[in-house]
Amino acid sequence: MNEIKLVPMDEGHISELARLEKICFSQPWSEKSLSEELENRVAHFLVAEVDGRAVGYIGIFVVYESSDISNIAVFPEYRRHGVGKLLLRGACDVAKRNGAESISLEVRPSNEGAIALYNSLGFEEIGLRKNFYRNPTEDGLILSKKLI
């Protein structure tokens, strides 16, 4: 696979990322929702590109000293090639540069691959959100990582 580049999300990425959302999530973000984040001062979305094509993305929100990952998605054919790890490292860097001392996310307990990835980067389980996910209903594990 050619080099993976991280770039800030822009309007040119929106339709492809909305398509990715539909592939990955039971409650996908719409093009409109993604586009609105371009105007959100606390939102930071990074896109992983290979040869100019969006292959994955991550969205984070930084508010004062805390940050939250809203979503991370990688097209199936690009999984297990380091894209997710690169996106997560990029998100941590952006959060830290914007003053965050920690970064958190929710993940389905059944998503063992994602949990293994998060743990490999130093995320630790700090809590549980009951019935956080829909279609199917499932709790959300809260994972967090200190950035300082």
Q: What is the CATH number of the domain that holds 22?
A: 3.40.630.30
Segment 36-62, tens digit of pLDDT = 999 999 999 999 999 999 999 999 999
Q: How far apart are CA 67 and CA 52, in angstroms?
A: 28
The arithmetic mean of pLDDT across residues 123-144, rounded, is: 95
Residue 84 is encoded by which pair of tokens? 């997710």
Q: Does the annotation count 31 as an active-site position?
A: no
Strands 4-8 and 66-74, bridge-based pairing:
unpaired
Choose the catalytic residue: 16, 106, 125, 138: 106
Segment 71-81, tens digit of pLDDT = 999 999 999 99
Length of the chain: 148
Segment 18-32, tens digit of pLDDT = 999 999 998 999 999
Amino acid at 128: L
Segment 82-133, tens digit of pLDDT = 999 999 999 999 999 999 999 999 999 999 999 999 999 999 999 999 999 9
Residue 77 is encoded by which pair of tokens? 């054919």
CB-based contact 147:134 (threshold 8 Å): no
Residue 105 is encoded by which pair of tokens? 């996310």
Q: How far apart are CA 110 and CA 138, in angstroms?
A: 9
Higher per-residue pLDDT: 135 or 90: 90
pLDDT score for 24: 94
Q: Which domain holds residue 139?
A: 4-146
Choose the catalytic residue: 118, 124, 125, 133: 118
pLDDT score for 135: 86
CB-based contact 73:56 (threshold 8 Å): yes
pLDDT score for 1: 72
Q: How far apart are CA 58 and CA 46, in angstroms?
A: 5
pLDDT score for 123: 98
Q: Does the annotation count 106 as an active-site position?
A: yes
Residue 98 is encoded by which pair of tokens? 């914007």
pLDDT score for 57: 98
CB-based contact 72:58 (threshold 8 Å): yes
The structural domain count of the chain equals 1
